[in-house]
Every structure is written in structure tokens, then in C-alpha cells.
Amino acid sequence: MAEHGDNPEKERVLAAILSAFTRAGMRRTRQRSRIAQALARLARKGATFSTEDLWLNLRREDATMGRATVYRAVDLLLEAGVLDRVVLPDGSSTHRVCGGAHHHHVTCTGCNRTVSIDACLPGEVLAAVSRTTEFVIDGHALELYGRCPSCRSMGTDAGV
């Protein structure tokens, strides 16, 4: 609900993905265009997805879409920084469209929708850890979990 056409945004994402392919010196094929379209759709919804799911969906609109093709494309886009990894509360790792700089996500435990956030671990916390553990900290992963407004208004049950 509350999804009204912000197609400019969708176009922007689509263009970003397509250009990521080109930038990496890769050919623009029919399959990759379809993948880009599906990702733009997912990006608009802020949904996370597994590669397998993405393939299953794509196969619905094109029965010949090869599984390996989708897996290969997702790998390339992860490497290109167009996709991010998002870890769900059960430990399973999914993906999300998300170029840009360092950031984290809040994922709704009801509908799996994710939202990017600027919030990050304060430098003092990192400094304190570094001091007590003597580790040199050079990276971190932070995932927040919660319930989005619409899942809350729908009661305790899941959305998607």
C-alpha cells in the first residue's frame, strides 16, 4: 500500500544498473535488461531477495531465462556495488539494490521490506572496542530489525 508511481526513481535505478553492466565492459543482452528491470522494481519496493527467488520470478515472464544467467548477473552486480548483502534475523543472507556510500538497513520482520539509513556506529564505540580488544577494526556490518508502519497497522501478521 501507499505505492504511487515514482517512476523517475525507478528509471534512475534502471539506468544505474544498465550502466553498471556497460561500465564493467559487459554486453547489454536481452536477459540482462530483464534482470535490470526486475531489480528496478525490487528497488522501488525496497524488497530484499534471494537470487533463487529472482530467477523464479524472471522465469515466470520468460520461461527460457537460465538460472545460471541470473546467478552470474547477481554476482557481477554485487561486485559492482549495485547490490548489497542483507542478513536476515535467521542468519540467511539476501540481496538488495543499493548503490551509494556506506550505510545500513532496517528490515521489517513482517514483510522483509528494507530501508536504508544513515545511522552508524559512533566512532567512540569503535575506539573503545579497539582499545579493549587490541584489534584494529576495519569494517563492520550492522542490521536493524523492526516492524514497519504498515505491518504494524495490520496487526501481528506478516505482510508479504
Partner DNA sequence: TTTAGTGCAAAGGCTTTGCACACCG
Partner DNA sequence: CGGTGTGCAAAGCCTTTGCACTAAA
Among the listed ranges 9-17, 49-57, 82-90, 152-160, the one in contact with DNA (CB under 7 A) is 49-57
Dist CA 8 CA 10 (whole Å) = 5
Return the residue of 9, 66, 81, 140 that touches DNA, per CB under 7 A. 66
27 binds DNA (CB under 7 A): yes
Helix (H) or strand (E) run with residue 51 in it? helix 51-61
Query: What sign does the dihedral 124-128-129-131 (CA atoms) show?
Result: positive
Task: Map residue 95 onto helix, strand or coil.
Answer: strand
Of the CA atoms within 13 Å of residue 22, those in its CB half-sphere come to 7
Q: In angstroms, give the least distance from the CB of 130 to DNA.
A: 31
Q: Closest approach of Cβ 10 to DNA, in Å?
A: 21
| 114 touches 46 (CB < 8 A) | yes
Judged by CB under 7 A, the number of residues near DNA is 21
Binding mask 83-122 for DNA (x = CB under 7 A): ----------------------------------------
42 forms part of the interface with DNA (CB under 7 A): no
Contact between 75 and DNA by CB under 7 A: the answer reads yes
For residue 65, the minimal CB distance to DNA (Å) is 5
Which of the listed partners (DNA, a second copy, none) does 160 bind, with a CB threshold of 5 to 8 Å by partner kind? Answer: none
Q: What is the DSSP string of 45-104?
A: HTB-B-HHHHHHHHHHH-TT--HHHHHHHHHHHHHTTSEEEEE-TTS-EEEEE--SSS-E
Question: Which residues of the shown chain bind DNA in the complex (CB under 7 A)?
Answer: 26-32, 50-52, 62, 64-69, 71-73, 75
